[in-house]
Amino acid sequence: MAIKEFLERISDTVWEIPVSYKEGMRVPARIYGTEKIIAELDEAVYDQVTNVATLPGITKYALCMPDGHFGYGFPIGGVAAMDVEQGGVISPGGIGFDINCGMRLLVTNLTYDEVKPHIKNIVDRLYERVPAGVGSRGFVKLSRNDFREVVEEGAQWCVRNGYGWEEDLELMEENGCLQGADSAKISDKAIDRGFNQIGTLGSGNHYLEIQVAKEENIFDPELAARLGIFMPNQVVVMFHCGSRGFGHQVATDYLQIFLKVMESKYGIKILDRELACAPFNSPEGQAYFAAMKCGINMSFANRQVILHRIREVFSDIFKKSPEKLGMHMVYDVAHNTAKLERHIIDGKERSLLVHRKGATRAFGPGMGDVPERYKDIGQPVIIGGSMETGSYLLVGVPSGDQTFFSTAHGSGRTMSRTKARKTWRGDKLLKDMESRGIYVRSTSMPGLAEEAGGAYKDIDDVIEAAELAGISKKVVRLTPIGNIKG
């Protein structure tokens, strides 16, 4: 029977697939989106999110955010919380290969008029100082043993070694270091793939972007000011990257381990081998959890070094210190993680392992782990759009409990990379964007074509759905003026 016949409309932005849809579903699946988003959704996403609903220990719902699209195992935009006291599992497919792919936003006290004459120089210099593309290597020279320290300490290692400010640590999830990371649980191959990649952007949809907060796009001036955006046409810098080849190898290693023990040792049967998993409290589950934390910490460190390079470039060009340029972080949010969190389920607090795969944590006001300076307004949420459109700064809200305080992470692809390369030419796209006031540097013209705005959902539609659903509140829309793509 067609999925549409099972799909129940819960509200204008919430749609549910009941457990009767597929044998083995333990909980319903819920998809967030407007009628337009749902009408255009790839049917493979329905199959994936309902497969997730069959996993042991899953609690309440299998969820898919408004930017959801087809991924490995889980849909990208997938969220699932596993009760670790009731046999809940951990699954690399619910976290992603690019562990802690995430977003960081910093402000400046510069205006667009001040930056515009320098934009090409800024982008060119950043292109030199922040290596991008497949196989790129960073300027931070580490031994393999040094790298083991980095992945256990995260951004804290960076700040201790002069790559940033103490205040930066307060403004990251987990203060830039997820405790319990154990480099003894990662392979030599993972170390080899990662030890020379700190401070690099990578490829695909990763980017470093100079943006402007136009007056008409500041939706809540009071909240915006609390987050550091205090004037119209203020220039900010946003970037998106993750744990590079290191995180990919960690995920690959443990997927193979889980496939060997999942059924033979633990009797777990799954509908899709890409959902390979192990009980969270098993030796294999705990080993992966400690290794995954290394991937999370590597990514925090990676973004911290990139932040340091950005400050260096702006300081050199504008002949002022980063402090005088007001180059303070707003926040750093992670995607592609699994974290132990306490949530209220049916009136009772429970310990849940929340998988967010291409989804952003969005804690509401007053919640633990929200930085003290934001405690009364909620956690900042950074959602990146395509390089042609724009991005958003939002905050978490109390009603986010319906998704374990999770929201979208980006626009969400609607077109394969292969089709995008056939549809657009990178060199033409480059010229078109420059004519519209967006100066771009890229390591690859075919790679640039893959990232054309038309290959993604409309970011405004995604944000509208997230706000209407009550899972985050928009504060500012940010418009690109310069971009570095891997």
What is the DSSP track for 40-96? T--HHHHHHHHHHTTSTTEEEEEEEEEEEE--SSSPEEEEEEEETTTT-EE-GGGT-
Count of domains for the chain: 1
Q: Judge whether 226 lies within some domain.
A: yes
- Residue 69 labeled ligand binder: no
Determine contact, residues 426/444, Cβ cutoff 8 Å. Answer: yes
For residues 95 and 353, give the distance between their C-alpha atoms in angstroms, rounded to a whole number: 11
Q: Known catalytic residues?
A: 409
Q: Does the pLDDT of residue 232 top 70, yes or no?
A: yes
**Residue 82: which of 336, 338, 273, 283 has the closest Cα?**
338
For residue range 292-310, list pLDDT tens digits in order. Answer: 999 999 999 999 999 999 9
311: pLDDT confidence band, cut at 50, 70 and 90? very high
205: pLDDT confidence band, cut at 50, 70 and 90? confident
H helix or E strand, kind and range, residue 223: helix 221-226
For residues 452 and 470, give the distance between their C-alpha atoms in angstroms, rounded to a whole number: 29
Q: Judge whether 26 lies within some domain.
A: no
Q: Judge whether 86 lies within some domain.
A: no
DSSP 294-344: HHHHHHHHHHHHHHHHHHHHHHHHHTS-TTTTT--EEEEEE-SEEEEEEEE
Q: Judge whether 139 lies within some domain.
A: yes
134: pLDDT confidence band, cut at 50, 70 and 90? confident
21: pLDDT confidence band, cut at 50, 70 and 90? very high
**Residue 352: which of 88, 73, 61 has the closest Cα?**
88
Determine contact, residues 387/483, Cβ cutoff 8 Å. Answer: yes
- Residue 328 labeled ligand binder: no
Q: Looking at residues 407-436, what average pLDDT do you find?
A: 93
For residue range 253-306, list pLDDT tens digits in order. Answer: 999 999 999 999 999 999 999 999 999 999 999 999 999 999 999 999 999 999
- Residue 410 labeled ligand binder: yes
pLDDT at site 137 = 86
- Residue 240 labeled ligand binder: yes
- Residue 98 labeled ligand binder: yes
In the chain, the percentage of residues whose pLDDT exceeds 70 is 100
pLDDT at site 216 = 97
Q: Judge whether 434 lies within some domain.
A: yes
Q: Judge whether 35 lies within some domain.
A: no
For residues 473 and 393, give the distance between their C-alpha atoms in angstroms, rounded to a whole number: 9
Q: Judge whether 113 lies within some domain.
A: yes
What CATH number does the domain containing 226 carry?
3.90.1860.10
Domain with 465, as residue range(s), is 102-253+274-342+351-485
pLDDT at site 387 = 86
For residues 326 and 46, give the distance between their C-alpha atoms in angstroms, rounded to a whole number: 45
pTM above 0.85, yes or no: yes
Residues 6 or more apart in contact with residue 99 via CB below 8 angstroms: 242, 243, 247, 250, 251, 292, 295, 296, 298, 299, 336, 337
Q: Judge whether 88 lies within some domain.
A: no
